[in-house]
Every structure is written in C-alpha cells, then in structure tokens.
Amino acid sequence: MKGIFPIEKFRQLRTPFYYYDTNVLRDTLACINTEVAKYEHFDVHYAVKANANSKLLTIIREAGLGADCVSGGEVKAALQAGFPAEKIVFAGVGKADWEIELGLDNNIFCFNVESIPELEVIDELAAIRGKVANVAFRINPNVGAHTHANITTGLAENKFGISMQDMDRVIDIASNLNNVNFIGLHFHIGSQILDMGDFVALCNRINELQDKLEARHIAVNHINVGGGLGIDYHHPNRQPIPDFASYFATYAAHLKLRSHQTLHFELGRAVTCQCGSLISKVLYVKEGTNKKFAILDAGMTDLIRPALYQAFHKMENITSELGVETYDVVGPICESSDVFGKAVDLNGVKRGDLIALRSAGAYGEIMASAYNCRELPQSYTSDELR
C-alpha cells in the first residue's frame, strides 16, 4: 500500500529509520478505550518495553493509559512522558536497588514482586524512607501459550514469578512486614497470543487461586493479567487494529472478578505494533547462484526479530511499479542470521528503492543495537512528515 507512506518526504531522509503512523496509533488507542469502557473496573496500562519512543509515549499517555515498566530506565521514560506516578507499575525479575529507590522516591502505584528476597529489599528500602510500598505478587500460573518458545513466560520452567505453591507463604511474609502493602496478584503468560483459549486457561487458573485466597479470608484488590494479545503480521493493512473486543470480552466472560476488584491489563505489542514500519534503502541487488539478494541498509541491528525469533515481517517495495520477482532480503551485518526473509516476493528491486518492513512498531526500535558500530535508527512520525 504505497498510499499510506509519504514517499517524497522519505526520499529526503537518511535511511534506515522507523516511521510511525500516528493515525493508526490514535485509532488503536481509541478502540481500546471504547472497548474497555464497556466494562466496569477494567484498566489498561501500556507495556513500555514494546516501544519507549517519547513521541509515542506522549500520545499513549494523552489517551489515558497507565504505564507498565520493567526497568528504572522505563520508569524514567514514563515519568518524562508525563505518565502520572500513580499510573506506573514496575515489574521485573531483577530490580536493582537504585531502580527500587527510584520507584519509591516517585511514589509509583505498585511494584510487581517476583521473589521473597526482592520483597524484603523493597520493605527495607521503603522503611529507610518512612514509606509503605504497594506490592503485587507475580504468580507463575504454569499456563502455556501457543507462541514462540522464547516469548512464553508463564510456565513453571520459566524464570518469571512466584510459583503457585509459594503464594500463601509469600502473602504471609508480606503481612508481617511493615513497609509493604499487599494489594494484588500479577500474571503474564506470553506474547503474540492469538488463541483466546490461552487467556481462558489463565482466567480459570486465577479463579482457582482466588477461591483459595477467599477461603483464607485474604483480600486482593487488583488482578493484573499482563499483556500478550497478538497482531496480524501478515495483513497489516487489512487488520491494523487488533481484536480488542474479543480480548476484553474473553476476560469479562471467564474471569470471576469480585465486585471490589480492578482488572489491569499490560498491553504492549497490540498498542504500537501496526503503526510502525522500518524504512530501508536497497544498497545492491546481487545475483547469487540460484537466487537474487536484495541487500538493504537496514539490518538485524535495526530490527532483530527475524534473526532472533525467525519472526515474519511483511516487506514491500514502496517505490517500484515493476513486476514481482523473488529475493532473499538481507542486511549488511557480518552475521549469517542477518536475513529479513528468504524467497520474498517484491516488486522488481533496484538500487535506491525503499523497502518497508511492516508491523515493526513493537519490539523494533527499542531492541536496536549498535553492533558493528552502527548508528541507532532515527524515527519520524506521520505528524512530523506531513
């Protein structure tokens, strides 16, 4: 879809760069808000790890979402973008002391705690400040998700969370500490999940745990089910906005939320993925023995998902009207895994053409590296290139 890109503007810019269509982002956020408004006590946080670009964070904050952070750097980015501290949660299996202190000093809403030693450190650091920190426990629900092994997180074998058997003990320990206040349970089973049945399995597990807690007269005010809603990488134009209606309806139908409870979501990919493309220039077309290579100026340093997870990103030659030919599309990095796609059909490619790698708004720019002493990619929004 050439019409969606300001190609003349692109030609004046140094490539590679990320391009973010803010209309898609704003429409996505509007859809989230419309769907969430159908349910009482549903609250959506944006998982900053998906993309911490300050221009996008500002738009997301303006739409009223909270921020889910997994490092001190992300907490800083959220605060800088104007997210109110009372809408920031801080998760992560290895929080350093300075990161906990940053959260405490800024009075963030909640720490999602992943181990007993971490709970004790938060209590200690809060005591020094004469504060009481809200904590939620991340419970590993041992629920599998039908997604790539590297991005499943909710199985007993994964490093994340506190096991279900330990939950009671952790809650008991917290109740004996003076500077932490236990407010909720946190879960996250994986990412790029398209089968609503996986979320149903999580709901069933949470229902069981809630019954156990109630039997012990333990009150939980917040249930946080993490993120994970997937997007359609194959059809970014046909389905630019994920199916939020089914997603929230699944939780509404299957999770037995108590009347006093709030249900939190931490969506990353579903919020920003479809608004972003990596725009790259063709450096060379090389004739191999039995194939053609399109060699781009973008590589795995700019978008690592294909190399790391064999992830698919739709590619388009946005500057060619020539007939379709088949190419292996590769980057310039000195690694054999620096391949964006094999046997990719593209409109006839020549040096200087612009190639768009679609659905790159989540886990794209944020995962870029300087390997090979490369510069990090720039970014532009559609607002800036109008």
Q: Residue 87 interacts with ligand LLP (CB under 6 A)?
A: no
The nearest distance, CB 191 to ligand LLP, in angstroms, is 3
User: For residue 103, is it left (φ>0), alpha (ψ between -120 and 50) or beta?
Assistant: alpha
The nearest distance, CB 176 to ligand LLP, in angstroms, is 27
Comparing CB distances to ligand LLP, the nearer of 68 and 232 is 68
Comparing CB distances to ligand LLP, the nearer of 226 and 236 is 226
Stretch that binds ligand LLP, among 11-19, 30-38, 47-55, 343-351 (CB under 6 A): 47-55
Compute CA distances 384 → 20, 21, 59, 214, 381, whole Å.
10, 10, 14, 53, 5
How far apart (Å, rounded) are the C-alpha atoms in residues 221 and 219?
Answer: 6
Comparing CB distances to ligand LLP, the nearer of 32 and 50 is 50
Q: Residue 95 interacts with ligand LLP (CB under 6 A)?
A: no
Stretch that binds ligand LLP, among 24-32, 72-80, 186-194, 315-323 (CB under 6 A): 186-194
Q: Residue 381 interacts with ligand LLP (CB under 6 A)?
A: no
Comparing CB distances to ligand LLP, the nearer of 16 and 230 is 230
Per-position DSSP letters for 13-69, written without gaps between them: SPSSEEEE-HHHHHHHHHHHHHHHTTSTTEEEEEEGGG---HHHHHHHHHTT-EEEE
Compute CA distances 213 → 216, 220, 360, whole Å.
5, 8, 41
CB 113 within 8 A of CB 138: yes
Stretch that binds ligand LLP, among 113-121, 122-130, 200-208, 225-233 (CB under 6 A): 225-233
Torsion angle (degrees, nearest 10) of CA 118, 121, 123, 127:
-160
Stretch that binds ligand LLP, among 58-66, 185-193, 252-260, 314-322 (CB under 6 A): 185-193
Largest CA distance in the chain: 71
DSSP state of 152: B
Q: Of 129, 126, 220, whose CA–CA distance to 182 is shortest?
A: 220
Stretch that binds ligand LLP, among 7-15, 164-172, 224-232, 341-349 (CB under 6 A): 224-232
How far apart (Å, rounded) are the C-alpha atoms in residues 179 and 196?
Answer: 38
User: Which of 29, 48, 67, 68 touches ligand LLP by CB under 6 A?
Assistant: 68
Comparing CB distances to ligand LLP, the nearer of 153 and 379 is 153
The nearest distance, CB 145 to ligand LLP, in angstroms, is 10
How far apart (Å, rounded) are the C-alpha atoms in residues 231 and 262?
Answer: 25
Q: Residue 227 interacts with ligand LLP (CB under 6 A)?
A: yes
Structure tokens at 5: 């890109």
The one-letter amino acid at 306: P
Q: Residue 162 interacts with ligand LLP (CB under 6 A)?
A: no
The dihedral through the CA atoms of 167, 173, 175, 177 has a sign that is negative
Half-sphere exposure of 123 (CA within 13 A, CB side): 16
Comparing CB distances to ligand LLP, the nearer of 21 and 365 is 365
Q: Residue 50 interacts with ligand LLP (CB under 6 A)?
A: yes
190 exposure class (CB count in 10 Å sphere: 0-12, 13-18, 19+): buried
- Considering only residues 269 to 308 of the shown chain, the ones binding ligand LLP according to CB under 6 A are 269-270, 305
Comparing CB distances to ligand LLP, the nearer of 114 and 353 is 114
Q: Residue 366 interacts with ligand LLP (CB under 6 A)?
A: no
How many chain residues are in contact with ligand LLP, going by CB under 6 A?
Answer: 22
Stretch that binds ligand LLP, among 23-31, 261-269, 291-299, 346-354 (CB under 6 A): 261-269
Q: Residue 266 interacts with ligand LLP (CB under 6 A)?
A: yes
Q: Residue 188 interacts with ligand LLP (CB under 6 A)?
A: yes
The one-letter amino acid at 370: A
Q: Residue 220 interacts with ligand LLP (CB under 6 A)?
A: no
CB 155 within 8 A of CB 107: no
Name the residues that contact ligand LLP, by CB under 6 A.
Answer: 47, 49-50, 68, 91, 151, 153, 188, 191-192, 226-229, 266-270, 305, 309, 363
